[in-house]
Amino acid sequence: MTSVITFLIVLGVLVFIHEFGHYIVARYCGVQVQTFSLGFGPKLVSRKWGPTEYCISIVPLGGYVRLLGDDPKEEVAQDMQDKAFLSQPFKKKAAIVIAGPLFNLLLALVIFIGVFLSGVPSLTSDVGEVQADSAAFQGGLKGGDKIVGIEGETISLWEEIREALQKHGGQALHVAVDRAGRRVNLTITPTKKEIKDVFGDEQSLWVIGILPKGTHVVQRYDPFTATIMGVKRTVEMIEVNLIGIVKLILGKISSDNIGGPILIAQMAGKQASEGMLSVLLFIALLSINLGIINLLPIPVLDGGHLFLFIIEAIIGHPISVKTKELAQQVGLFFIISLMVFAFYNDIMRFFVNQA
């Protein structure tokens, strides 16, 4: 039950932010919004304010914003043409289409900034274990030591140790250590280790052969630093998602990794059990994923609409209704096939886990 409730909350937030992006930019551009719906299918709750109907529909897997004149076959009165979507210039149509995915990316950015402002649990620079015959062992580092400086730079967190090792490469490092209240200066030369990243690619990493003790502190940042770190983390996650999509298309990542609502619900439940911070970070990661996927140039997705608008801007006239309908059908077939495949993977994971 916790998984289901968390899943609905997470999905509701993602869908609302995405559709609100379309909605608010359409309003700003002077386009009339006919319907703002969370969910698809029959309407559970509906209320009309002004020209817009706001509703919650029975199928929670998405939502939509319907704009006046967004269907080429729709007849729009002459005196309403200036409020019709397809009557707008390219810049306005592009802005409205991009707004949904962009708001998803902005949501992730806001969450990351908020997390860095409120405080992030971070490992301290206390050394738990020194591996035998490692660079650290040979340099005289011992379990229980606390690394306080590397090459003159103050160190207090484990992440800072990793960053310093990669920054200075394989050169001999002057390492300052607090050993039971006594300062000890050591010289340690990192060694190169080949590891696999999240995509299975080989990467070189400079290491000295130590493990943390698991001591954490809550690291809070000032607004400026939190903003910089939030932007950096958002960009990193966007890059990871793009690389993952490319590798999936090229067949370098198994399609078995594709998941649907069941997997998301399971993951949402797991994050809920770990606390609000985990849920917020989960929302941020899903929001980035949703934003990027919607920008792909596939008909029926926002990126597909944008792609068609760009073509129209280049050729100087609207694409025929028949061509658009064909493109929509192809895109819809692709999306439905992907959803079916994701559901299949979810079901197979469920039975494998049960076994």
- The reported pLDDT for the residue numbered 258 is 65
Give the span between the Cα atoms of 215 and 44, in whole angstroms.
49
Per-residue pLDDT of the chain (355 residues; tens, 9 = 90+): 667 788 788 888 999 999 999 999 999 999 999 999 999 889 999 999 999 999 999 988 789 999 999 888 888 888 899 999 999 999 999 999 999 999 999 999 999 999 999 988 889 999 999 999 899 999 999 999 999 999 999 999 999 999 999 999 889 999 999 999 999 999 999 999 888 766 667 788 999 999 998 888 888 899 999 999 999 999 998 988 888 778 777 767 666 666 666 666 666 666 767 778 888 888 998 899 889 989 988 888 899 999 999 999 999 888 888 888 888 788 777 777 776 766 666 666 555 554 4
- The reported pLDDT for the residue numbered 341 is 65
Give the span between the Cα atoms of 144 and 136, in whole angstroms.
13
Distance of CA 222 to the CA centre of its chain: 23
* 352's tokens: 């494998």
Topology of the domain covering 121-219: Pdz3 Domain (2.30.42)
User: Judging by beta carbons within 10 Å of its beta carbon (0-12, 13-18, 19+), is residue 34 exposed, middle or buried?
Assistant: middle
* 42's tokens: 């029959």
Written as one letter, the residue type at 349 is R
- The reported pLDDT for the residue numbered 117 is 94
* Number of neighbours of residue 158 by Cβ within 10 angstroms: 23
Query: 66's torsion region: left (phi>0), alpha (psi -120 to 50) or beta?
Result: beta
- The reported pLDDT for the residue numbered 148 is 96
User: Judging by beta carbons within 10 Å of its beta carbon (0-12, 13-18, 19+), is residue 104 exposed, middle or buried?
Assistant: buried
Give the active site residues: 19
Listed by start position, the domains of the chain span 2-119+231-354, 121-219
- The reported pLDDT for the residue numbered 286 is 87
Give the span between the Cα atoms of 337 and 311, in whole angstroms.
26
What crossing angle do the helices spanning 261-274 and 276-294 adopt, rounded to 10°? 150
What phi, psi does 196 have (nearest 5°)?
-105, 135
Give the span between the Cα atoms of 100 and 302, in whole angstroms.
8
- Beta carbons of 215 and 123 less than 8 angstroms apart: yes
H, E, C per residue of the chain = CHHHHHHHHHHHHHHHHHHHHHHHHHHHCCCCEEEEEEEEEEEEEEEEECCEEEEEEEEEEEEEEEECCCCCCCCCCHHHHHHCHHHCCHHHHHHHHHHHHHHHHHHHHHHHHHHHHHCEEEEECEEEEECCCCHHHHHCCCCCCEEEEECCEECCEHHHHHHHHHHHCCCCEEEEEEECCEEEEEEECCEEEEEECCCCCEEEEEECCEEECCCEEEECCCHHHHHHHHHHHHHHHHHHHHHHHHHHHCCCCCHHHCCCHHHHHHHHHHHHHHCHHHHHHHHHHHHHHHHHHHCCCCCCCHHHHHHHHHHHHHHCCCCCHHHHHHHHHHHHHHHHHHHHHHHHHHHHHHHHHHC
- The reported pLDDT for the residue numbered 184 is 94
